[in-house]
Structure formats: structure tokens, C-alpha cells
Amino acid sequence: MKDIRKLFGAGIKTFRKKKGLSQEALGFKSSLHRTYISEVERGLRNISIVNIARIAKALNLKIKELF
């Protein structure tokens, strides 16, 4: 089974690319650093629910859509 962090991060990356956003732009919109976004997308971060909410809002998604 793949690491859940990698699966979750891949989903964020897919949504980000569909919206035409760079990691830097998503970071700006979500008030998170671009390197943090990169680490989340690569499954290197154990992301908090607060940051999940920030990213969902920045992508104009409901939190549940990220899962």
C-alpha cells in the first residue's frame, strides 16, 4: 500500500495543475510557503487539518474533495 501522504499529495498536485496554478501561486493563495506545498505534494509532510483547509479554500474546493 502506498503511503497515504503520497496519495494525498498527488491529489493536491492534480487539483493544482487542473487550476493552472504553480506551487508558488498555491502557496500564496493558501498563506503557505511554496516549499511546504512541494513537500506536501511529494508526501514528505504530515499535513494538519488546518493546512488542508487552507489548501482546499485556495483551490476553491470542499475539504472532502481532497480525500
| CATH code, domain with 38 | 1.10.260.40
Task: Tell me the residue range of the domain where 42 lies.
Answer: 4-66
* Domains contained in the chain, number: 1
Provide the residue type at 28 as one letter: F
> Half-sphere exposure of residue 17, counting CA atoms within 13 Å on the CB side?
8
Total-model pTM: 0.90
Alpha-carbon span 64 to 49, nearest angstrom: 11
Q: To 10 degrees, what angle do helices 4-18 and 34-41 make?
A: 120
For 15-28, what is each residue's pLDDT tens digit?
999 999 999 999 99
Alpha-carbon span 26 to 51, nearest angstrom: 12
User: How many other CB atoms sit within 10 Å of the CB of residue 27?
Assistant: 20
For 9-66, what is each residue's pLDDT tens digit?
999 999 999 999 999 999 999 999 999 999 999 999 999 999 999 999 999 999 999 9
